[in-house]
Chain A
């Protein structure tokens, strides 16, 4: 019995318990505090670059659709376009003029619409103070016009890019791709949509015209004077590539822009709309959802991926989208009552990066659109795979500085990491240390699996970018069918790309389709 013990023993027991309790508490804190504070992991590789000015409330600016560029000439050889790359200003925040670098002085650049197989010739003039490179992301383009990172348009120079576009209808985009400086150039505004249309797709009865909305999502940060903030080591973007620490793993902005406007509002009738979602951010990943969700859920019906339509629609409550990925989705605003305000939100976001944009349901209207059960015909059979490659993407030391490598080697435009044969199918096993959205030029691929399982919920359809998560292994199948020459594949976290995470590859053999 405790009461029968001598007083000294009781005190000793108490002190011992007290010490044990204290010790246990300290021990639990030393392990528990870091364990619990970091439990959630991270949804993007990168560090937040805070704006140096107070941010406005969201939903003050109107949603804008980038204008469609008219060709200067249509003739037997194709549709001819002209684009000037120049400095300009834009209203990204309400009432604030922000200096940008942009195609035709607009961010996003003007949208080019090309019918499938219609040769499209785009002449670019560079009125910017630095060299530029234009890459059509997702295009099956001959090597000379693909925008290899060292094929520069010097300041004051011109270059004409010819795109055969013999590929399925899809949401492509064009952006700067200069070696070592893609991150700051895209951050300043060098990005635009290039849509491939197809009469066969038009016949499906999907929402079209002003119910077909391109949605380019980017995150940016702003300085006190309203200019864009970016932590370049060389702010003139001439010599020293890369960003200062702690942004070497990616630059994350605290303002979400949709088609260049911060958290805009789109009035829409209560009918089906096609949203062509593009994540053109340097490093940020988003998990997009509708708030409130429509009654019964399943608000986002995916019909297309990076490189074209799916075989059949897939219903999602949310979509995880990594830099450079595209998701074509149908949202039926007819499931909401007129007057409802529906936010597109990013559930990976924090206070300012959770809202993305808002749809205000205005009125009911006739809707003759539909979502067919069968979208794209089955892909033609590909040859069985004959080559398997392992590609490891990881943090590394590059020229004595922290950087990023593929198979231990930083980008060298003169040394191809691999050579592929036209007309063959390859299996690529890609592994990561952090978040790496891996983009392959020239060819579309299919995701075969992740880890020990099959493809993830966001891996369906023809892809050109795969969202690799930390410490993950994924398997893709790619067939090289179109063009020989030297191309690149790289991480589309643009800070990683600029700091080494890119590799050249050669494609050899006769072109599959004879002529261009």
Chain B
């Protein structure tokens, strides 16, 4: 039985949806990078446009982590992780425009890994269980 003030079961859903979307869009960045490295010039433009969408989705992920804590009484670190990920994406975009590829590529791998870990946690997480 669930009483007043108990964790509410909807609270992880916004995070699940946004973090999944972010993970997919971020993985697409690797797909597009592979294609312009294979010589398809217009995909460079797609890579740039999708970077914006992925960044917005990562920011949405951070916002969606708020109800996990309030009112969900869950951990606060997903919110911090979402904001950190967003900071990394912003840096990643700047590094891409500056063509600092020696950092851009490993950082891209790191961002995708981080997004996948957060997404995996959001689907395993059950409110009210420590």
Is chain B found bound to chain A in the same assembly? yes
Contact code string A438-479 (vs B, CB < 8 Å = 1, else 0): 000000000000000000000000000000011100000000
Contact in complex: A23, B28 (CB < 8 Å): no
Known contacts A34-B28, A38-B40; 16 additional CB pairs below 8 A are A27-B20, A30-B24, A31-B27, A31-B28, A38-B31, A38-B32, A41-B35, A41-B40, A43-B39, A45-B41, A47-B41, A246-B42, A249-B42, A434-B36, A470-B38, A470-B39
Question: With A and B bound together, what is the CA distance between A338 and B40 in angstroms?
Answer: 42
Contact of B44 among A395, A435, A469 (CB under 8 A): A395
In chain B, positions 16-60 with a C-beta closer than 8 Å to chain A are: 20, 24-25, 27-28, 31-32, 35-44, 46
| Cβ-based interface call for A355 (8 A) | no
Complex interface: chain B residues within 8 A of A435 (CB): 39
A interface: dominant SS: loop
Minimum C-beta distance from A410 to chain B (A) = 15
Which of under 10, 10 to 19, 20 to 34, or 35 or more describes the interface residues of B? 10 to 19
Contact in complex: A42, B28 (CB < 8 Å): no
| Cβ-based interface call for A55 (8 A) | no
Contact in complex: B42, A470 (CB < 8 Å): no
| Cβ-based interface call for A46 (8 A) | yes
Q: Given contacts A27-B20, A30-B25, A47-B42, are A470 and B31 in contact (CB under 8 A)?
A: no
Which of under 10, 10 to 19, 20 to 34, or 35 or more describes the interface residues of A? 20 to 34
Contact code string A392-429 (vs B, CB < 8 Å = 1, else 0): 00110000000000000000000000000000000000
Complex interface: chain B residues within 8 A of A35 (CB): 31
* Most B Cβ at <10 Å: residue of A43, A45, A434: A434
Question: With A and B bound together, what is the CA distance between A250 and B42 in angstroms?
Answer: 11
Tell me the A residues contacting B by CB distance below 8 Å: 23, 27, 30-31, 34-35, 38, 40-47, 246, 249-250, 394-395, 433-435, 469-471
Report the nearest B residue to A32, measured CB to CB: B31
Question: With A and B bound together, what is the CA distance between A399 and B99 in angstroms?
Answer: 18
Contact in complex: A42, B24 (CB < 8 Å): no
Report the nearest A residue to B24, measured CB to CB: A30
Contact of A471 among B20, B37, B44 (CB under 8 A): B37
Question: With A and B bound together, what is the CA distance between A471 and B36 in angstroms?
Answer: 9
Contact in complex: B31, A34 (CB < 8 Å): yes
Contact in complex: A434, B43 (CB < 8 Å): no
Question: With A and B bound together, what is the CA distance between A94 and B28 in angstroms?
Answer: 46
Contact in complex: A23, B38 (CB < 8 Å): no
Question: With A and B bound together, what is the CA distance between A34 and B42 in angstroms?
Answer: 13
In chain B, positions 57-115 with a C-beta closer than 8 Å to chain A are: 99
Question: With A and B bound together, what is the CA distance between A41 and B31 in angstroms?
Answer: 11
Complex interface: chain B residues within 8 A of A250 (CB): 41
Complex interface: chain B residues within 8 A of A46 (CB): 41
